[in-house]
Amino acid sequence: MRRRIAWWRKCWCGRISARSTAPFESKTNFIGGAKEGATVIATATPVHRGRRTQVWQTRLETEDGKLVAVVMQTQMVL
């Protein structure tokens, strides 16, 4: 599970803005588990999109809607 989340974060860092960003702060709250082999869906929502910083909330849920984790991440726009 941790390996998948690390991969997901790496993919999203370049997609947050047309310009480069760098993670400034990241907090993950693990709420529940997902069975091995289950598909976990990540949905990212912008909370703040400024010129210098962006804040994103990401919810990770199983296909049946069970909450697995919530990630709050602040990105610094370079």
Confidence (pLDDT) at 16: 46
Take residue 47 and report the two structure tokens written for it.
């909370």
- The span from the CA of 54 to the CA of 68, in Å, is 23
Verdict on whether the full-model pTM lies above 0.95: no
Confidence (pLDDT) at 23: 85
Rounded to 5, what percent of the chain is helix, strand, coil? 15, 55, 30
List CB contacts of 51: < 8 A, sequence separation 6 or more. 77
- The span from the CA of 43 to the CA of 68, in Å, is 12
Confidence (pLDDT) at 4: 52
Take residue 53 and report the two structure tokens written for it.
């910083």
pLDDT tens, N- to C-terminus, the chain (78 residues): 554 554 445 555 545 446 688 888 999 999 999 999 999 999 999 999 998 999 999 999 999 999 999 999 999 998
Domain at 2-77: CATH architecture: Roll (3.10)
Give the start-to-end residue ranges of the domains of the chain: 2-77
Confidence (pLDDT) at 17: 46
